[in-house]
Amino acid sequence: MSQSDARIVIVGAGHAGGSAAALLRQYGWKGPITLVGEEPIAPYQRPPLSKAWLKGEADAASLALRPDSFYPANNVALRLATSAVGIDRTARAVALSSGEALAYDHLILALGAHARKLSLPGLALDGVLELRTVADADRLKAALGPGKRLAVIGGGYIGLEAAASARALGAEAVVIERESRVLARVACPELSAFFQDYHRAKGVEIVVGAAIEAVEGSGGHVTGVRLSDGRLIGCDAVLVGVGAAANEALARDAGLACNGGIVVDLAARTADPLIHAIGDCTHRPLPLYESMGRLESVPNALEQAKQAAADLCGRPPPTPEVPWFWSDQYDLRLQIAGLPLGAVETVLRGDPAAAQFAIFHLDADERLLAVEAINAAPEFMGGRMMIGKRKQIPGKKLRDMSLSMRDLAA
């Protein structure tokens, strides 16, 4: 079979899968490409779901990764509202929920992640929501508005962005967090404190160190969240945002190594030479940190889509990127670069009172590992450059606003 006939099947039509399809064509892949997605719509961006979409500032066209016409125009067969139920690696075929077996010469798994579920009484009540898909976002949007009260279980990015959007829509929001601070898993204590203060100043109630007893309801609809200390938080809707878990079952069942994500290398290859995996579903090398992990971000989905497409099309792999992430809440833009793995020192630059500052994380050799920047794009961009170059820099220089980030990063 010549290269030009080789068939690629991509399972998962989210950010990673959709991008992979486009990049394969961009890089010159000529063979058939089939993109299989569970949701009934073509690939779209999830970040706006907790922000612009909820606030009515986005529409389907602005959400879409590419226009619907893109797929036929680029000879990408879209199989939407279709799940993959099994992978037969010997027969090289993907079993679909329709009953068909889709043959492949190369397979890309872009299975994504799903919202973690809690096990609590009351979660089956109407009005208990999660936020992963546009259908979820529509349900959440319908529950928000002036006079409505949203209880958010989980003080992570999803919860905080939803709380900010709820406030923008005139709704009340209460964030209930298990740990002693919001963003406990993903941000340093100083940043958590900043966000807690900012949200509270915007009228969001934040309850930390909270254990939940049950979600309560009446007539089949949620009416409140009862905490273990007895307190009842009345609400019209509950958003459960307690993290995401990789959709690895399909891969695991097919015998591919998984570790809280499908294990891949820096070319997005699994141990099967015919199968790549990309995006939220993967457990991947983190070269700057000499470790492995799962990165839950749009930049990661894109980077791995590029890795897979480059590998399949015989192009050199893209230079590994510094992991990065962004979150918008109210008029705050948070941009994070790197991971604070092994950090021993934090350095503040700028003015938290003016909501314009950055927190840098250094290791024992003063090497910059990560930066968390609020409304401080130069600190984010300069920091990201320095992290990528493994630059060592004394904290007192970072603290010094008379030294520009451009000069420090050079």
Partner 1 sequence: MSDMPKVTYIEHNDVAHEVEVPLGLSVMRGAVDNNVPGIDADCGGECACATCHVYIEPEWLDKIGLPEPGSQEASMLSFAAVTQPNSRLSCQLQMREELDGLVVRMPEGQH
User: 44 or 194, CB closer to partner 1?
Assistant: 44
Q: 80 is written with which tokens?
A: 């939407």
Considering the complex, state which of residue 68 and residue 100 has its C-beta at the smaller distance from partner 1.
68
Measured CA to CA in angstroms, residue 160 lies from 121, 192, 335 at distances of 24, 11, 15
The interface with partner 1 within residues 64-83 (CB under 8 A) comprises 65-67, 70, 74
Draw the binding track, 285-314, toward partner 1 (x: CB under 8 A; -: no contact).
-------------xx--x------------
For residue 87, which of 76, 77, 72, 101 has the smallest C-alpha distance? Answer: 101
When the beta carbons of 174 and 191 are compared against partner 1, the nearer one is 191
Instruction: Give 196 or 329: the residue with its C-beta nearer to partner 1.
Output: 329
- Residue 321 in the binding site for partner 1 (CB under 8 A): yes
Q: What DSSP element (H or E) covers 142?
A: helix 134-143
Smallest gap from residue 374 Cβ to partner 1 (A): 13
Instruction: Tell me which DSSP letter residue 344 carries.
Output: -
Pick 318 or 395: Cβ nearer partner 1:
318
Q: How far is the CB of 123 from partner 1 (least distance, A)?
A: 32
Min dist CB 376 to partner 1, Å, is 8
> CA-CA distances (angstroms) from residue 222 to 125, 142, 153, 272, 366?
6, 15, 13, 46, 51
Q: How far is the CB of 155 from partner 1 (least distance, A)?
A: 22
**From the CB of 112, what's the least distance to partner 1, in Å?**
17
* Residue choice 271, 377, 401, 403 for contact with partner 1 (CB under 8 A): 377
Q: Which residues contact 231 (CB under 8 A, 6 or more apart)?
A: none
| Nearest residue to 247 (alpha-carbon basis) of 277, 276, 292 | 277
Within residues 5-34, the interface with partner 1 by CB under 8 A covers 22, 25-26
Residue 381 binds to partner 1 (criterion: CB under 8 A): yes
Distance CA 163, CA 155 (A): 10
Q: CA 332 to CA 220: how far, in whole Å? A: 37
Q: How far apart are CA 269 and CA 288, in angstroms?
A: 19
Lookup: tokens for 123: 């979660």
Q: Which two tokens stand for residue 228?
A: 């273990």
> Which residue's CB is nearer to partner 1, number 270 or number 304?
304
Q: Cβ of residue 45: shortest distance to partner 1, in angstroms?
A: 5
Chain residues in the site for partner 1 (CB under 8 A): 22, 25-26, 45, 47-48, 65-67, 70, 74, 298-299, 302, 318-319, 321, 324, 326, 328, 333, 335, 377-378, 381-382, 385, 405-406, 409
